[in-house]
Amino acid sequence: MSPQEPEQDPADGTKPSAGAKKDPADGAKSPADATTAPADGAKPPAEAKEPSRGRRLIDSLSARSRGEGWEKPQGELAKYRSAWRAGVRFILQRVVFRAVVNSAVTPQVQTHRRVKSIRGPFVLVANHTSHVDGPLLAMSLPWAQGRFLCTGTAADYWFDHWHRRIFVRTMLNAFPIDRGGSRKHSGTSRRLLRSGVPILVFPEGGRQTTGSMADFKPGAAALAIGVGVPVVPAAIIGGYEAMPKGRNWPKKGRPPVAVVFGEPMISHEHESAVAFSQRIRERVKNLYDDHHDEVLGVGVQGEEGPA
């Protein structure tokens, strides 16, 4: 899942999608902010100093042009931005599934304010604790950002049978991912991002089996770098404790499960996918550690505890 390296975007310093438009407002000074240099050659005041690259990048995530300047999806990809399909998902995720979740666990959601201002596609990255992680993240994300969120699912299991295919496409806006060496659907995630569709990735590669967070594979980071989109880190807390691998339903007593969405991340200039992936994992781990005690209580061993 290693995307090709596109051209550099002069607007925000990230590598763009093929259809991304430059936002003239991103990182540029308005006439009102411009400072005329003194005639005697004196240095301009400190407040006129150009904003740092990192601040310009983060500020540009809320630009309207970032949400509108992506390729219009064609053919098979068009359904991933279908308005009527999104309406059906709203009912399934935020009415039906929410009622089921509320009956089985005690959900909590915390969202960083900058997540709510994102315009355009992004890669949502989270730890993987149980089968309900995908729908749980989808229903917890603000609707403006989660409306077209799609999830990659195994093509040889979920897409080989019509009833499973209908379920994951309807509930998760799912797209097929190849396993076992096949490359039939190679590049789908990259094309979706370039069409303005955010995607969910679990970089651990599978559900946790011991409650400890595994190393992150660099594919999600490489994808974000190659297309030029931000990463939204998310930590699921209590998912493993409520529904460890091997269970088909959460434990009795409506155990607490929290989803915490952290501040969006953008790769540093010349940062490798491996280094960016390590930073993302550290951010997810910090989100987990920072909120563990308030969700599960002090003294409860978390996923980063000793084996």
Tens digit of pLDDT for each residue in 244-287?
A: 888 889 999 999 999 999 999 999 999 999 999 999 999 999 99
Q: Which residue has the higher pLDDT, 155 or 299?
A: 155
What's CA 176's distance to the chain center, in Å?
18
| Residue 112 · residue 262 · CB < 8 Å | yes
How large is the average pLDDT for residues 111-138?
93
The lowest-confidence range among 63-67, 148-152, 269-273, 284-288 is 63-67
Give CA separation, 101 vs 62, 136, 137, in Å.
Answer: 31, 8, 12
| Statement: residue 56 has pLDDT above 90 | no
Q: Are strands 231-237 and 199-201 parallel, antiparallel or unpaired?
A: unpaired
Residue boundaries of the structural domains of the chain: 72-296
Q: What's at 239, amino acid-wise?
A: G
Q: Give the SS3 label for residue 40.
A: coil
With vertex at residue 89, the alpha carbon angle to CA 83 and CA 95, rounded to the nearest 5 degrees, is 130
Fold annotation for 72-296: Glycerol-3-phosphate (1)-acyltransferase (3.40.1130)
Q: Give residue-wise pLDDT tens across range 178-215.
A: 776 666 677 899 999 999 999 999 999 888 777 789 99
